[in-house]
Amino acid sequence: MGLHKEGIQLAKEALEIGEGLGDRVVQAQCLTSLARRLRQDKQFDAAEEAASRAIGLLPEKGEEYRVCKSHRIIGEIIYQSEGEREKAIHHLRVALALASSFDWPEELFLIHYRLAGLFCNEGRFIDAHTHIEHAKSYTANSAYNLAHAMEGQALVWSKQRRLEEARSVARDAVSAYEKLGVAKYEGCNKFSPPFAVP
């Protein structure tokens, strides 16, 4: 917990410097960083406000990546804190449109993965499977993301009570994580609630 507090303080200090310089892009970058750290510290309202401020500071052209990331973060925060599905989906779809336009594989993976988790939690398993498959299609350059997608697939199947399929994919995910030297893959072992924001 101390690390979250320290990260929040550092992001606030960086934001003050950006404000002193009058550099809106630097301010937006600091606000996005602050939003992520506030979310990790479960200060959801403050995190949503920081990410929203970041979007407001960015120009329409030239900073699309930061706008995309901020919308993704807002979607994650809203669903995690308030469970407002439609509002969360709106922000994730705005992020998805931007990421698709510029072909940003990491963002596309994260957005599809979050949408899969959101739909899984809502019991919309066909939509969840569709987004997991889309997420997998953006893992070519990341063995970790592929393992993460397999873990997500196992969690969706476990929630559907398709336990044999879930166990099989979970074993594959564990094997992939172990090859990467990743020790924490609790979702594969416990079939924990799907798609918690890391």
In whole angstroms, what is the distance from residue 83 CA to residue 121 CA?
Answer: 10
pLDDT digits (tens, 9 = 90+) for 10-25: 889 988 998 999 989 9
In whole angstroms, what is the distance from residue 74 CA to residue 49 CA?
Answer: 9
What are the extents of the domains in the chain? 1-103, 105-198
Amino acid at position 40, single letter = Q
Say if pTM beats, i.e. exceeds, 0.85. Answer: no
Q: What integer pLDDT is reported at residue 184 of this predicted model?
A: 61
Q: What integer pLDDT is reported at residue 2 of this predicted model?
A: 56
Q: What integer pLDDT is reported at residue 197 of this predicted model?
A: 41
Q: What integer pLDDT is reported at residue 190 of this predicted model?
A: 47
Locate tokens 């003050």: which residue? 16
Q: What integer pLDDT is reported at residue 57 of this predicted model?
A: 92
How many helices and strands (H and E) does the chain possess?
10, 0
Q: What integer pLDDT is reported at residue 42 of this predicted model?
A: 87
Span between the terminal Cα atoms of the chain, in Å: 14
In whole angstroms, what is the distance from residue 150 CA to residue 17 CA?
Answer: 42
In what helix (H) or strand (E) does residue 56 lie, and over which residues does it extend? Answer: helix 44-57
User: How crowded is residue 184: how many other Cβ atoms within 10 Å of its Cβ?
Assistant: 9
Is the separation of the CB atoms in 45 and 81 below 8 Å? yes
CATH fold of 1-103 reads 1.25.40
Q: pLDDT tens, position by position, for the chain (198 residues)?
A: 457 788 889 889 988 998 999 989 999 999 999 998 998 888 989 999 999 999 999 887 899 998 999 999 999 888 877 778 888 999 999 999 999 999 999 999 999 999 999 999 889 999 999 999 999 999 988 999 999 999 999 999 999 999 999 999 999 998 998 899 887 655 555 444 444 443
